[in-house]
Structure 1
Amino acid sequence: MLGGPDGLVTGAADRPTDAGDLVVLVHSTVAADDIRRWHAAFRPARIAVHDAAVAGGAAAARAGDLVLLVGGLADLDPATRGLLDAYAGLVLDAGPVGAGAVLKLAVNVMTYAQQAAAAAAWDLVADAGGDPALLLEAWRHTGQLGRLTEQYAGLLALPAEAVAGDLARLLATTAAIAHKDLDLAAGSVAHPVWRDLLTAIDGAVGRTLRLEG
């Protein structure tokens, strides 16, 4: 999209010199190193690549209430900042270019870790012959049950035969995204303990999403 004969660099080459920078906002969850590399590589062509990672999901997008995690926010012109405010309920200055991508990975890691922990706890109770619904009740009473985990628990309560068809395909897509994110995170974190933990969560994605028995 950026390089190559049909990319933005070629297409933007004939812009007037007083046209200002062409700003590219990357909403995808990608490696911070890629964002930094693109930012540096395309600056000579007056193309400013910034990470503007998105969190919040489809409902927030429809409501214009997304969270944007932006790298290099202070360097964006007022018009671009106004564009971000038009479809986000919260714009966070994550730090320099690339920091927004790291922050989005961290947000996603927290989600996957919560889901994996909930699935392990659910199976622990069920394997002992207990009622996992009581686990939710205990979590709720002690203030440990967040909205995201409570929504996810609906999947845990489904019988195995219900994970089929469109639902199975949706979960398989979710699993592929989780594998990609966790692999990126494991390759970015410095301490080997966290790298091992992220790798373990990645290995448990199939069971966490009830795609594996």
Structure 2
Amino acid sequence: MADLRAGVIGLGMIGGGVAVSLARSGHPAAAVFDVRPEAADGLEGVPACVASPAEVAQACDVVLVAVVDADQARAVLTGDDGVLAGSRPGLTVVLLSTVGLAAVRELADLCAGSGVTLLDAGVTNGPEAARNGLVTMVGGPDDEVAAAVPVLEAFSRSVVHCGPLGAGMTTKLARNAITYATWAAVREATSLAAAGGVGPATLLRVLEQAEDTVAPLLHLQLKAVDYTIGEEQQAWASGLADKDLAAAQELAAELGLSLPIVDQVRPRMPDVYAGRLDGLD
């Protein structure tokens, strides 16, 4: 890591957390960028934003891209002042954004045309991003992943090399399918219990007494079932769920698989985040 200069593009919850975690590990980002020039303000150990993604590429060996979706990632990479405009052969781009596999392959091809390697790296445990708590699922060639691992380990709790290009994102989409389906199941279960006069705290108490039968993810989500968020946050969260589940459906169609649970869960996510199912609040 001492010889690698890392940069971060996108300083939201994930990217900002990654930048803070790099600093906490003693390897602060050499350059960061966000469309909000003030985004780095208040992020401990994180330098002020530079003027463009190209400047991040010029200053760094590994560029971590943590934007919202494929369109933003494409713009960050290929814009007039994008990463590829400032790149040099040998640069590595690590895509932390959750996108579909077609987008991963497209962006990797665009990077390869400039002698740049793209690795796909889905991340999870977002609320812990600023405390070196991310689990990073990376896809790409063995040697390229090995070269980037020191940077990944500097901000992650765990790094898992899942396989070739696309394997990291595939793992993230599969993990997300479990997460969203579990959220929907928790909401349905608590709605059923509430309709019968049993509150979430009672249901949780029963599950805690039989904890060996409860998956940790289900347990965590049931603990959070009373947590309410505002309408703006609901729209944001359900939008992310829709994007991620759509990507899972797209991959399944490409592979000739059916995902009947995902098909049912995807249109339900706005109600899941609003805390209502089947007319029950």
TM-score range, shorter chain: 0.7 to 0.9
Local SS of the residue matching 1:173: helix
3-state DSSP of counterpart to 1:69: strand
Counterpart mapping for 1:88-167 below 5 A: 88-142=156-210, 143-157=212-226, 163=228, 167=230
- Give, in angstroms, the shift of residue 100 of structure 1: 0.5
Task: Give the AA of the match of 1:40.
Answer: D
Distance 1:133 1:58, change over 3 A: closer
**1:202–1:78 Cα change, 3 Å:** closer
Shift of 1:51: 0.5
> Letter of the aligned partner of 1:186 in structure 2?
Q
1:209 aligns to what SS in structure 2? Answer: helix
Structure 2 partner of 1:10: 85
TM score, norm. by length of structure 2: 0.63
| CA pair 78-71 structure 1, distance change in 2 beyond 3 A | closer
Q: What does residue 205 of structure 1 align with?
A: 269
Is the contact made by 2:145 and 2:161 (CA closer than 8 Å) also made in structure 1? Answer: no
- Find the residue that maps to 1:2 and give its secondary structure: helix
Judge conservation of contact 2:234–2:270 (CA < 8 Å) in 1: no
Q: In structure 1, what is the Cα distance between the partners aligned to 2:143 and 2:261?
A: 35
**Runs (5+) with no aligned partner, structure 2:** 1-75
Which residue does 1:172 correspond to in 2?
235
**Structure 1 pair 2/62, CA: closer, same or farther in 2 (3 Å)?**
closer
Query: Who is 1:49 aligned against?
Result: 118
Aligned to 2:55: none
SS class of match (1:129): coil
Gaps of 5+ in 1: none
| Number of aligned residue pairs | 198
What is the TM-score of this pair, normalised by structure 1? 0.81
Paired position in structure 2 for 1:85? 153
Q: Identify the range of structure 1 (91-100 vs 181-190) with the bigger mean alpha-carbon deviation.
A: 181-190
Give CA deviations for 1:119-142 in whole Å, capped at 9, x if unaligned.
Answer: 111111222333443322232223
Once residues 161 and 184 of structure 2 are traced to their aligned partners in structure 1, the CA distance between those partners, rounded to angstroms, is 29
Alpha-carbon spacing, 1:66–1:6, altered in 2? closer, same or farther (3 Å):
same
Please, what is the CA RMSD of the aligned residues?
Answer: 2.3
In structure 2, the partner of 1:31 is: 100
Instruction: Give SS of 1:54's match.
Output: strand
The residue identity in structure 1 corresponding to 2:78 is G
